[in-house]
Every structure is written in structure tokens, then in C-alpha cells.
Amino acid sequence: MAAFVALAPTAVALELGLLPAIPQDLRLSRRPHFAGKAVDARAARPAIQRKSDRSSEGSKLSRSGTGEHEEAASSASRGALAVLAVSVVCSGRAALRRVRTRRDRGWKALRPASAPTLTATAPTVPSVPQTVKPSELFEEFSQRSKAAAKVLAGLPDVLPMPLLSVYTALPALSVLAALLCPSSTRLARGLAAALGCLVGTMAGAFLKQAKKDAASCSIARLLADHMQEAMSVAELRELIHGRRRRFGVPAGAHICEDWESTDLQQIYEVLLNKLVEGPEHDPFDLPALQRLKAALDLDGIVVGNAHRHAAQLLVSRGYSGLEGEPMRVATDKLLFLSERAFADEEPEEAGRYEMGRLCKVLQISEKEAAERIGAVSRALYQQNLTAVVDKVDAHTGEALAGAKAAFGLAGDEAERMNVDTYRQIAADQLSSGRLAPDGKTTLERARGVLQLGERAATAAFIAVATPILRKDVDEVTSSLQNQASSSSAESLKTFSEKLASRGEELGLSHHATFCCVREGMLDTLRSQYSGACKDARINGPEKALVSLDKLIAFAKAADVVLDKLKASDATADEGLPLTLTADPLSGRRLYSLYLERSFSGEAPNASSPDELARILELSEADEETARVETCQPRLRELYEATIEKAEASGTPLAQLKPDVSEQMAKFRMPFEAVEETAIEVYKARLAKLEGRIIKASEQEALQAARGFLELDRSSVRRLHLKAFAGTYEQSVNEAMGRSGIMPPEASEALAQLGERLGLESEDAEKIFHGVVEDRLRDLMVPVRDAWEEATYTKEALIQLNKERGKDLGDDPYSDGTGGDLGIKDSPPLEGVRGFKLMEELTKVADFYTRNKVFREGADEKSDDEDAWATAYPVQVGKWIEDKNKEEMFGIYAWNAVTCQDTASREKWTNSKETVGGVLGLSPKMQKKVLVRMVSRWCNMFIKNKIQEQGELSKDDISTLTDWVPMFFGIEKDVTKDMVQATNKGIIQSKVLALLNKPSVTPEDLVELRKEVDAWELEISKDLELSRPQLRSLFRVEVASVLEDPDLNDEQKVDGVEASREAFGLAEKEAMDEMRDLIKARCQACLVNALGDLMQEKQAAAVAQMQRLELLAAFGESAGIQFQQDWDVSPAMRQKLIKTYVAGAEGKKAPDVRLLERVLDLVTA
């Protein structure tokens, strides 16, 4: 108890906050932040919420505990406030100085190097890192604990720790103070008891913190004793949990989270920082740290803060002079240990978040961090693999598997390193030049330990053993090269057996031996091929052919050796015979050289060119190309020599054909190449004759050569056309002469000439049409001038000729009424517009007809565009605009019909269709142009008659509908439509006049209807009247029908329906118009009757009332409701009815009841 009283000042300092357990600047927040990380919100939210809840609950509990202590201290000291002031005032300042000194000294003793600030001075780093011993480290940590913690940690387990609390210290010290009070008065004892309560409260707070420190000290002692022993992690964790429960900080309690974040984190940081300072790639670092984490049962928050704090410490050490290789080693180790510590964090985003915080402190990108962590993992794993080379057992395999998982090494990376190790083991087993006696067993165990598949292990072993075998293969291939052509079957068998035996000594399978030997011989073959290519390029064909002979001989010998090796390997189905894939261009070049030598017969014992093609793996296309390049010049020489021999000796070419065919069989050229060669030879023969008319003997020689070369006429068609087209064209021009008309005998001669020149009929026809087209171009120039004179004004013609450089002067006839300069040999016909144009177009037609340009068998009058175009193979329409050529033909067609001169009219009429065809106008288009010309005349005729008479008479109409179609040869419907259109315009004018009259009578409508019916028109469709105009006409006609007293209701309905159909109104539209009309007319009759009655015109009033009755009776029968404002008072309406009854005359009496109903005079 006295010891507790002695420790009371320290408890007072702790209670007042003068001695915090951890400096505030080194306390790390436990609130997680995932800023800047691509973290799935759904995955990270539970971890974030858990960490936030724990942090907030811990802080609340801490504040709650502090509030309880303050409340207890306040209540305990109320009664002893005066005594406390008296007892403390003298020694307060000195006590405070002692407390501060003890606080600073205690903090420095507690954490000399575990958690300094970033600006603190780092301790000196030893030049040579020492291996970390966790037992010594934790023993030192426990010795640095506070004295009170050591005392409490050393107490026997039988002493219950709950006795050392405020609940026992407070009453005990109160009673003790009262008993020890020197005064016996109650006041003095009460004040002493109160002072004891105050001291007991402070002692309780001190004991609570001391127990926490004792827990840390006790745990450190346990770790020092059992960290490196064989005790399992679960047993060690249970011991630690027992110590925590004894000192009031049980695992899982929220009130203990702050203690875990400080004291347990300190223990973890002590080891972590020491490991970072330790040697590089120490394999015991990671297991020690993982064992400590598991034993302390630390969560991810504490571990993450500890690693971040270690990173801050490492950065501060960098500021203090740590750099270069030591800094790299420490950083790499911290990154590796941190990544392994965070690897089992759940969810995965939490581990990435902690790793991101660490990289941010170290100022390292995540990519660089991953690379450095991978380097450390590989180095550590390689240390484990090094032991496999010397020791291969089951325990080693388990250790490797555990190391790969512990170091976080990727599966493919670990497998690659395992393969490298396996290769090293295989190299050791083959170090003597052959496989050791127990080599297979050792390699099999190594494969199982390294967890390699059979394929990977076999490939690794082959990669080590084949270079050894390759040396023997190179010796054999060298011998084969030197004596390939003279090697016997026995020597080749010896080579094969030697290589097979050597492969067995090395432990290679038969297939692996075969592949190695084949690859070595293939390399030699490639070398020989490269040498042959070099010789062909530099040293000439002779050197290249020697190299090719050696290549073929070596390939044959190698095939024998490989074939014998293959006999012992059932899987070696591929790879024979030995070939190589040559470059297509180089391969064709070498093949061409070899093929050319075979044709020359210089090396009769040499191998076949096909053998070389097989070895070089030439495709059929490449072989064919090379054969064509070599044989085509030879074939051409053969053709030309044979033809020249036949011409010199007079021997028919047919007799020399068998010898040529026999030689061609050796060439084995494709048909296309043979035909191409034959065409070239024929072209050369033809070139000697081109540009002139050949003789009959020359024609026979060409035909014989063509037959010998097996060429048909279609194959040489282009050649003949190119050679003799100019000759034939010149002959056509000469046959036409200056007149342009070809005589009949010239046509026959041209046909014979085309046959002699070997021209096809179609080609000769095209040449002929080309000449015709050129002549037509010349003939169309005066046609154009004549058309311009006939259509242009004098001013326009003068301007046009001036632009062309032709000055006509001031000729009054130069606008088409006269010839050039007003002078002409024969005067033009009177009444013919464009006589010169007619003459020039007639010349064109005569040229076309007399030269028989028309294609035989074609129908020039057909309405089918394609059939008609066939009849006119040459047209000038494509040189002239459509508008101009149609106008030319229109003038020609009009004059051909209207000309008064019989001879000219007959001549022009006969040439009209030809002129249209030459101009490019089909028969259908020619009719259209003629109709257009006739329409112009008819329109002018109608216009003049309308101006003179106001309408067309019957004679005028007869002229238009009967005479015009007969005279011009057009359809009657054309003029009929024109007359109808004219009368339509006249009727439209009459309708508009009617609508503009103040009143329209039924008689006017009757006349209108007669005229419309006479021309088979419809008012609603043909007169183009608007809907309001049609409704107005309907109202006029319906009004006359409704007011006719001689018609009954049925007849009136028929009349209204007929009028509706005539004016094109809908039923509803007509009904609305009739209803409005009847109501308006009834009201007008009533008002007029009232006016007449007021003027004492009783008879007129009676007549108006009679019309009213007539309209009202039909309206009522039609269902019309007369509920309207009549603008007449009821008394006057009644008076009018009486006047009507009194003055009515006739057989039918007035219907008074009807009038009363209509005029709203009947009361309900």
C-alpha cells in the first residue's frame, strides 16, 4: 500500500494528461481512405464501414472512460478541496517539474527508435547489417518497459489483477488516511479521508495504465521466450490472449482497440523496423513477421498503420543520409514484407489501399513497386532452389511449394525458375560427356521435387543434351560433305549407328536423337544452299552448278543416314526426305541454271532437275515459272529456225511438226506459255509485212505459219488489226474519193482486201464506219451553218460569224433568206424556210444511203430503241445538243410536208427518216418533233381565229381535227386535244364572267352545261374551278330547282343530286349548302313579303309567301329545322300568314299549319 501511495504523483500526472502514452504527432488515424484508387465500392464498403465503426467506437469509449475518471475525481475531491489546497500549494511547482522530467524520460526510454517523427534524427545505421534475433529484440523491448509495468508483470499469477483498481484503492486509502490522521477530531479525520479518496482516485487511474503497460511487457517476455521455439502459433496466440485477459485488455473488446493500435503496434513495429535494417534476402524475415502477426492476432488496420509508419521512418532515414545500395535494399525489403502482409487482407481492395498508402509515402509508383517486389520474390525463391541442386528429397519439394506460395511468386515465373534449375541439374549429370549411372533416377526425383510436367522436363533435358550430341553430328556431316558422292552404304550405316549409340549414352530418346541429327544435317544443307546462291550471284553459273551437285549428293547421303535412324524410332514419320524451304526467287534462279544444263547435255550423269526442286521445296508454280523462263527462249528459237528452214528448203511446215513436238515434250511448258511464244513468233513474222497490201503468196505463208504454230484466227486477230488497220482505212478513203460516194465495185474490192489482210468482218466494218464518221463530221459543218442562217437573227448571225472570223458584211440576206453574201447559183424555193439546210441534210442522207452504211437485216423503223440504233451504226447526234438536232429535224420534216414543189417534197420526204436516224433521233422521237411543229402551227391558227371571231367555228374545228391530221400524217387525238384545250380556256373565261355578274340566272347555267358537254368536259375536273366557285354555281342551279312549282319533291331531290354530281360536291357538303340556301331564301321571302305589305302591295306579298311555303315544304320534307331569327316580329308574321290566306289563288289552299310551324307561331 505504501508503494501505491509513492506512485500517486505519477498517477496524478497521467490523470491530468501530462504523460500521454504515445506522442500525438505519431498517432496514426485508423480511418481508412480509398482516395485515388480504382476500388469497387461494393467490395470496399464493408471494410471501410468496419474500420470506421471501430475507430469511432474506440474514440467514444476512450472519451467515455476519461469522463468517468474526471467525474470520480471531482466527486472524491469536493470534500477535501481545502485540505488539498493547503497540502499541495507548497510543493506544487516542484512536483510538476518532477512529473515533466519523468514524462520525458519515460517516453525516451520506452521508444528510442521505434516511431520517431519524420524530422527526427535517425540512429546510425551499421555498415554491415546483422541478422535479426527476435528473442533478443523482444527481451530488450520488455526491459525498456516502465518500472510499474515490470513490477505488475512480475507479480505471481495467483494475485488477481482486479484488486489493483480504483474500486479497491479508493476505500483503502480513505480508511488509511483517516486512521493515520494525527488529530482525533472528526473534522480532521474527515478531511484526511477526503484526501485519501482523492489519492485513491489518482492511484486507480495509474493502476489502469500500469496494467496496460504490464500487458505489453508480459507479451514481449512471452515472445522473447517462445518466438523462435517449436511452439505452434496457436499455442503462442493462446498464451498471449491469456496475458491480455489477466491485465484487462482482452482480445475482441472495443475498449482495447486503442491499446492494440499503440502497444501491440509498437511490438510489431519493433520487429518490422529491425527486419528492414537487416541483411538482404534473408529467408527468415518473412516467416518471423508472419508468425508475429498471427500470434498477436493483429487486424489489417494495425498492420497497415505499422507498415506506413515504417515507411515514414525509412524516408526520414533517407533524409538523414541513408542512400545508395543500403537504401535500395531497405526499400525493397519493406515493399516485399508489406505486400506479403497485405496479401491476405479481405477484401482485396483493402490490401491495394494499404499498399497504395505505402507507395505514396515512399514516392514510388505502383508499377515500380510491383517490379521490385517481384525481384525480391525471385531472389528468395532462387535461394530455395539452390538447395535442390545439392539435395533432392520429398522435404525439399514441400519446402519449394511453400516458398512459392509464401513469396507470392507467379506460377509461370516459378515454373520458369524451376526449369532453369532442372537444366542445371541435368548439366551436372552430363558433365562427364555422358549421363551418370544414377542420372535418370536423380533427374526423375528432381522433376518431382520441382513439380515439372513430363513434357517440360523432357524439353529442358533435351536443351542441355542436344548441344553435346550436336558436336558428334557436326563431325559426321563434315565427313559426309567431303565424301558424299563416294560414300558407301556400309559407311553410311556406320555413321547412323555411331550417332544412335551416342544419343543413348547421353540419355536421349530415339526421337530426340533423330531430331537433333536431322537439325544438324539441315543446317549443313542450308549452308550449302547459301553457298550455291552466293556462287550464282558472284562467281558465276559454273561454280553454282558445282555447289548444287554437292548439295544434292549430301542430301541423298543424309537421307540414308536419317532413314536408318528412323528405323529405330516409330514416331519419326516426318522429316524425310531432307528438304529445306528456299527463297522463291533464289530457288527459281538455281533451278533455272540446273535445268538449262540438263537441256544442254553438258552433265549427262548429273541428277534430275526435279530432284533439286524437291530438295528446295519449290512449289508447282515456282517450278513452272522457272521452267518457262528457261524454256521459252529455246522454244522461240526452235519455232523460228523451223520456219526459216521450211522457207529455205520449200518443205511444208506440216512435215517438220513432229520433230518440234518431240522437243517441246522435253520442255514440259504449260499451254499458256507455249501459246504466248507462238504469238510472239507470229507477231515477228507479221511485222515484216505491216503497213502495206500483202501478196497472195505472203498471205499463204502467214496462214501456213499460223497453222504450224497452232494459232486460231481469234488469237491473232488483234495482231492483224494493228498491222493492217491503217492500210485498210486508207483504201476505204481512196474508194470514196472526193465525192464521198463509193461505187459498187469498190465495195467488193474492199471485202476481198479485208480477207487478204486477215481482218475479221467486224473489224473491217468498224474501220469503214470510222471513215464514214470522219466524212460525216465534214458534211455536218455546212449543215450547222445552214441551220444557224435559218434560225438566228441577222445581228446574232453577224456576231457568231465574227467570232469565227467570217465577215458577211451588210448583206440583207445573210439571216437565212439568201445564200452566202446574197449570191447563189439557183434561187431558193419560195415559201421554204431554211432551203440551204434542207439541201445540206439531203446530202448527208444521200451519203449515208449510197454508201450502204445501214446495217443489213436491221429494222430502221422499229420502235425498239436498241433495234433502231443497230440500223444506224454511225450517228452525229452525239456531237450536237439534243435541242439543236431536234430543231434541225423539225425544220426538215415541216418543209418536207409543206413544200409546194413536188420534186423537192418527194426527195425530202424520202430522206426524212434517214436524216432523223443520222441525227440520232428514233422514229418515236421523230414523230414527237413533228407533232411539236404541227402544234405550233395549230396554236397560231387558233390564236388568230379567237382574236378574229372570239371562238372557233365549225369549219375551224373541222380544219384542226380532220384536215391537219390527214395532211401532216399525225394522230387525230393530237389536234383534238388542242381544240379541246382551246375551248376549255374559252369556257373557263365564261365561267369567271358568270361568277362576276351581280346575279346568275339558271338559263346561264344551262348554256354553260351545254357547252361543257359538247366538248366532253367536266365542270368539276376540267375547268379548274375552286371549291367556293363550284359551291356558288351549285347554289344558283339548286335555287331554280327548289323554287320550281311544277316539280314535286322527288323530282327536286333528283335535280339536287344531279347538280351535286356535276359540280363535284360531297353529299354532306351539298346538304349543308342546300340547308343554308333554303333558310336564307325563306328569310328573304318573309322580309320581302313584309316590305310589300308595308307598301300595300298585297299581291306581291302573297307571291313571296307562296315562294316561302314552297321552300319550307321541301325543307321540312328534307329534315331541315327552321329555328332561326326571322328579323320579323311574331305579330307581323301572323299578319302575313292571314294576308296570304286571304289573297291566295289557285287550286291548292295555303298550308297554314306548315307556315306557323316554320315561323315559330305554334306554341307548345
- Indicate whether this model's pTM tops 0.75: no
Model confidence over 259-292: pLDDT tens digits?
888 888 888 888 888 888 888 888 788 888 888 8
What integer best gives the mean pLDDT of the chain?
75
Give the pLDDT band of residue 860 (cuts 50, 70, 90). low
Distances (CA, A) of 910 to 98, 741, 917: 145, 19, 13
Model confidence over 638-660: pLDDT tens digits?
888 888 888 888 888 888 888 88
* Residue carrying the nine cell digits 439571216: 815
Residue of 53 and 515 predicted with greater confidence:
515
Is residue 810 scored above 70 in pLDDT? Answer: no
Residue of 941 and 1019 predicted with greater confidence:
941
* Residues whose CB falls within 8 Å of the CB of residue 436, separated by 6 or more in sequence, listed in order: 429, 430, 442
Model confidence over 1018-1060: pLDDT tens digits?
666 666 677 887 777 777 777 777 777 777 878 878 878 887 7
In the predicted model, what is the mean pLDDT of residues 785-804? Answer: 78
Closest CA to 547 of 606, 630, 605: 606
* Residues whose CB falls within 8 Å of the CB of residue 185, separated by 6 or more in sequence, listed in order: none
Helix (H) or strand (E) holding 669: none
Give the pLDDT band of residue 533 (cuts 50, 70, 90). very high
Contact 1128, 1090 (CB under 8 A): yes
The reported pLDDT for the residue numbered 820 is: 38
* Residue carrying the nine cell digits 524451376: 418
Residue of 149 and 313 predicted with greater confidence:
313
Is residue 530 scored above 90 in pLDDT? Answer: yes
Phi-psi region of 183 (alpha: psi -120 to 50; beta: other; left: phi over 0): beta
**Three-state SS at 316:** helix
The reported pLDDT for the residue numbered 1164 is: 39
Size of the chain in residues: 1164
Which cell numbers hold the place of 1001?
340566272
Please tell me the least confidently modeled range out of 71-80, 134-143, 962-971.
71-80
From the number of C-beta atoms within 10 Å of its C-beta (0-12, 13-18, 19+), residue 812 rates as exposed
Enter the DSSP assignment of 78.
Answer: S
The reported pLDDT for the residue numbered 406 is: 61
Distance CA 1036, CA 1056 (A): 11
Work out the widest C-alpha separation in the chain, in whole angstroms.
Answer: 177
Model confidence over 220-263: pLDDT tens digits?
888 888 877 678 888 888 888 888 888 888 887 777 888 888 88
Distance CA 515, CA 216 (A): 69
Is residue 694 scored above 60 in pLDDT? Answer: yes
Which cell numbers hold the place of 1026?
375552286
The reported pLDDT for the residue numbered 983 is: 65
In the predicted model, what is the mean pLDDT of residues 620-631? Answer: 89
In the predicted model, what is the mean pLDDT of residues 96-108? Answer: 35
Distances (CA, A) of 366 to 315, 327, 356, 369, 994: 17, 18, 7, 5, 99
Is residue 189 scored above 60 in pLDDT? Answer: yes
Give the pLDDT band of residue 404 (cuts 50, 70, 90). low
Within a 10 A sphere around the Cβ of 820, how many other Cβ atoms?
14
The reported pLDDT for the residue numbered 897 is: 82
* Single-letter code of the amino acid located at 1006: V
Is residue 92 scored above 50 in pLDDT? Answer: no
* Residues whose CB falls within 8 Å of the CB of residue 1128, separated by 6 or more in sequence, listed in order: 1086, 1087, 1090, 1136
Contact 10, 213 (CB under 8 A): no
User: For the packed helices 510-534 and 489-505, what is the interaxial angle rounded to 10 degrees?
Assistant: 130
User: For the packed helices 1049-1062 and 1027-1042, what is the interaxial angle rounded to 10 degrees?
Assistant: 160
Is residue 550 scored above 80 in pLDDT? Answer: yes
Give the percent of the chain with pLDDT over 70.
77
Residues 708, 711, 717, 719: what is their CA dihedral angle, to the nearest 10 degrees? Answer: -60
The reported pLDDT for the residue numbered 996 is: 67
Distance CA 1018, CA 998 (A): 25
The reported pLDDT for the residue numbered 835 is: 84
User: For the packed helices 186-226 and 81-88, what is the interaxial angle rounded to 10 degrees?
Assistant: 70
Q: Give just the sign of the alpha carbon dihedral 634, 636, 638, 640.
A: negative
Which cell numbers hold the place of 967?
395532211
Q: What is the full DSSP assignment across 981-1041?
A: HHHHHHHHHHHHHHHHSS---HHHHHHHHHHHHHTT--HHHHS---HHHHHHHHHHHHHHH
Model confidence over 761-783: pLDDT tens digits?
888 889 988 998 888 888 888 88
Is residue 693 scored above 70 in pLDDT? Answer: yes
Contact 687, 724 (CB under 8 A): no
**One-letter-per-residue 3-state SS of 580-635:** CCCCHHHHHHHHHHHHHHHHHCCCCCCCCHHHHHHHCCCCHHHHHHHHHHHHHHHH
Distance CA 1028, CA 1025 (A): 8
The reported pLDDT for the residue numbered 1038 is: 77
Please tell me the least confidently modeled range out of 119-128, 430-439, 674-683.
119-128
Phi-psi region of 28 (alpha: psi -120 to 50; beta: other; left: phi over 0): beta
